Structure 1
Amino acid sequence: MSLLSKPSDKRIKIMFVSLLSLIVLSMVLLVNSYFSIEKRINKSAEDYLGKTNDYAISILEQNIEKYYVLLQEQSSELIASLDSNDVDKKELASLSAITKDEVEGLFLLDETFNHKVSVRFNDQAEFSVNQLDEEYLDKDKSLNKFLENKEIRNGKEYFLNGLYYINLYIYDKKSQKSIVAPINLQRLYKNQIKNGSQVYQGYTMIKNSDFVVIMHPSTNQINLNITKDRKKNYPSFDFHGLEKVEKIQQNQEEGTIYYDSYWWDQEQPTEAAKMSVFKWVNIGESRWVVATNSDVKERKGLTAENLLLLLVIFIIIVIVFILFIFILRQYQHQYKVYIKYKESEKRREEERIRHDLDLKIQQESKLETIGIVSTTIVHDLNNILTPLLGMTKLMMEENNEDEALFSDLESIYLSAKKGQELSGNILRFAKLDNKEKRDSDIVEAVSEGVKTIRPLIPKNIELDLQIIDTNYPSISMEPQDIQNILFNLITNAYQAIGKGQGKIIVSVSKEKADDSKKNPFHFKNKEIIVIKVMDNGPGIPKEIQDKVLVTPFYTTKDETGGTGLGLFVVTSLAKKYGWEVKLFSDENGTTFSIRIPI
């Protein structure tokens, strides 16, 4: 007779009250988790915008410095060429190609600082003589200051023909002549900043000390004061948010602002709740505020998605406990979560550096969010499994004479215990540095790890342990970490071998690391312990060997349910101790080596 036909009223009431208590506790934990996640996501968003803003500032400073150094290094040759009737066309064409269309051209000023000759560049890496308008000099209010102080590198920005420019100043002491090079700030912005990859909706803009826009995705916004001029163009819009921004930026060198405004890069601006990170920067005689903003609602969407995930887990918990009460013998439920990430498409070679930086920031942000969510869920699940284990143990003691019932209860108890151990491992991995390390026997830790996983190995695969040397010193570590590394590597090995006959060898040995470049600095001329996991599987294709160790969620085992986290866990644990992970693979098999300095 089944268990459900026998339960006493008292036992059912106890279980029902326990269920209600667990549900209430789960709701409290869910609410607490929501606010905690929201706070951390906001902090992550601020960090992301801050790094993006700093990147834009570095791009501005580096490119202006690059052009200044380039002109300074070639100043003598350029002055000699421009000062003669025989213009060096090859040299100027080369300079035009390097500066693209960001440098408008060159002015040559004589000893009395009068305009002598000019060269205009174009976007075809070509140039024309004496076709650069003198307005580039007349509009520059800082030019007189340069005439008095030859150490000034560039002047203050000025407005000409719908765009903003700054002039670079190069003074040649030998000839006492000067070169003035106008830089088109909007082209510099478009080429170097605007075209960078954008993970979230938003953009970077630059204003001068009068809060007039000098660089912006939309040229219609250039030379507009962010409040006064926009009020004239859009009299029905609400400008309280921008007035708040202007007031804060007047009084702070840098900071983060939340405010209501509009997307000014659109033909018809739409309302938006924005988060903006800003910083003031001085470039020569110019003082600018660089601000990067994004959509707050888009960021908040991450919180809503995480809350939805928590609610789904909560509903699953309720269903599992109801089934546990009413259909205990048929208790079978599996959780399967598939998370797939796609790598960003390959950028053009000249944009590779910006792409890698954005991709790294995006990945760190997502991993941080996933870590927060997974840790919270596992913690809640562990709190629920604890009373389940206790109640099941109690029922086993009360029904030890009923063999069938006792066997079913024992299966439930062992499954719940396994789930509790798994959740504990996940919590340990999420807090890698919190547990104090201790000196441990490396051979004992490896042996215990192999012994633990041996029962899980398919019968068609042989697992062999080889301890090659003796007298191994103790290593400062957590033994569970080396066992976790072995578990992931051995699991990968037997999954790669598949259903055919195969062999996995785990070996421990010692060797001497030389001082060659292939060894990290802290390995050189030291004795090291090498733990190898070798299999005779089909091997790992060369084109993905660089990805499998460092890219989370990267897997080639979609059909078998691979998560892509196993090898990432291995490299993360090795990095925690300063160990090194080596991979060698061909058609005869794969070898992973964990190298530990003594």
Structure 2
Amino acid sequence: MQKLKQIPKRVHHFLIGLVLTAVLGVLAFAVVNTYTAYTDMVVQQQQQYLLVTARAVSKTLSLYISGQLRDIEILTRSPGFLTEFENYYETGGDTALREHIVSYMLSQKRGVKRIYLLDKNGDVMYQYNDYPFLEVFDESLLHLKEYAAAHTSGIGSVFRISPQHYGLTLVNDVIHGSESLGTVVIVIDLEQVYEEYLAPLNIENTGDIIVKNEKGTIIMHPNAKLLTFNPFRQIQGLDTLPQYKGLNELLTRQYSQEEGTAIYRDYSNGIAPPEDEIAAFSRMNVNNTAWYVSAVLPYSTVKNLIDRNVGQFGMLVAAILFVLGVCVISFYAMRKNQQNLKLEAAYLKDINHTLKELHQSREQVYHYQKLQTIGALASGIVHEFNNLLTPILGYSEFIRERMGPESEYYDDMSEIYEAGTRAKEIVEQLLPFSRRETDSTAYGPVNLEAVLQDDTKMVSMILPSNIRLEKGYKDIHATVYGSATQLHQVLLNLCSNAVQAMEGKGGTLTVQAEKISADALPANYHPAVASGFVRVRVADTGCGMTSETLAHIFDAFFTTKAAGEGTGLGLSVVQNILISHGGFIEAHSTVGEGSEFLVYLPVTAQAVAPERPAAPGAPVRLNSGKQPILLVDDEERVARYLKRRLTRSGYTVDVFTDAEEALDAFLASPTRWQLALVDGTMPKYKGTALIQRMRSENPNLAAILMTGFVEQDAVQMQQEGLIDEIFLKPLDYRKLTEKIGKLLAGESDLTTV
């Protein structure tokens, strides 16, 4: 202490100044480093937030476009639509086709504004415009003729409706068997899609969501002036001039990576002023088409936020330094942590909002996966039941032919055969749940009064004593074009739901039907032509439904029943069946009073064919050539049945129930057999793979595939000539033997029986 007092005053001041300078330098160095680290942290957080937003937008667009492609595929693969398309070429009538198109348009979400139905030559058969209508534009931009000639399905092209307005076409080739009947093209308003699905995800009030097509042209942007802008085409020297280096690097990464983030300087060729941007991008891939989604935030917005917070913090630090000095470092750290917590809370809040949007999109994917699972299960059930039905129908038909109508047991065997045929129709109702095949139930004129009588008779047998049935459909004389089996399914489902709604307290179940004119239809349904309709009313006096429940009753997997008591598929299937019949359904309900379902179906002038008992038919002609046939089927019942009948028809049949053993025997003597009958689904070999292997050894081998459902590879092989015929199980033995005779005689045509 004494020595310090001996230091000259000038030196003392110098030392104090030196220490203060060092402290200030350290503080300045710490402040600069802290500011830099804080800036980097905020920028990284914003980039991650933008990346989550870009992913959400990409997923939303992908689900929307995939859903539209799936919906139009369901329309064009429905049996009613395909039947009416064929009738159009035979009779020239397109009334039912128009009704299918209108039903499809009324069931769509926002964005689908126009639909074109083209014939084989690419000429427009029918065009439907949704309200509000699109502005007038040059329809040559749609390339309708090119789509019809190409026979393709999927995303068509993005075209310009007006200088700041884009549209998108989706295309589906209508195929029945191996023949193209025509093309369906829908037009989607991308501006409406942006406002409906993307605008709600915009980043606060300062950021933008941008969508570019595969060529780099902006097709969705909140600033209409930037639509159609393409930096590759409109910025000269993009890949050479230094001022465009950051933008060029971003574009290069965007078109080579699935997703990423970047900071760059944006140029729009004078449309908007240049500006530094923080961006994140994510690629959307649908049907071999890639779009690029970017979430962009001006760097100045983030910088202003940082500067404002740091400026306030700096003033506080200066005040603390002035008053407390040494305590500034501790207070600075505390304040910094507080600011970080606030930023993280705001960031988590934004993330939570984005995750909610993602959750909604993910639920749609989960429902689609459930449908795929049901499809796989349905395919397996159909395969097993068809293997059981093949010998039942075959033996009953065989025994009935052997007995003849004069036998006292002929009618009994006919009952067995008809019951098996009915079981076959019921099994076919499982096929719509499989992606491999559409519903193959026969369509034709149906007496609706007879359907109602059968269903109410069945329902009355199971009604509890406290529920009364009222009927009102006598002498309506209404004929509809469709599937009687599916109409039974619709009415029994509605009656079953009504009975369940009245369990416990009882009530009245009402089933009524009446003919109405097109003018009496609900205002939200506009048929393509003013034909007559029949309205079926199914009502109950049960518990009723709330408006929230009523809004979701036709959604797949929606149910109000306890776990394990319902799948939520009943009313969804009902609605799909009615759409395929050119009709629709309405529901009304009041809590505590009951529910009412109104089914509308177009009537037809076609007469219902009178029912006739199945004729015994002429006996199958015996074969005298003794040509050897190779039969491969893992189901022993089916193999035994076919061998017995074919042997009786004069053929030599070698049977294998193991595909590998059959292949080994064939490879040992490839020319022994002239024809092979092969099951489509076997444990060790698919039927198509086995046929392909055998044909590679003996190209002259005739091949028939027997299957419960036709897969794409089988159709492809039939078109290539590797499969001569495809027979659906249960087999029609008469047609089978006729085809075998033709193939062994050198005749062949490509059909599916």
Report the TM-score, using the length of structure 2 for normalisation: 0.35
**Higher radius of gyration, 1 or 2:** 2
Report the TM-score, using the length of structure 1 for normalisation: 0.43
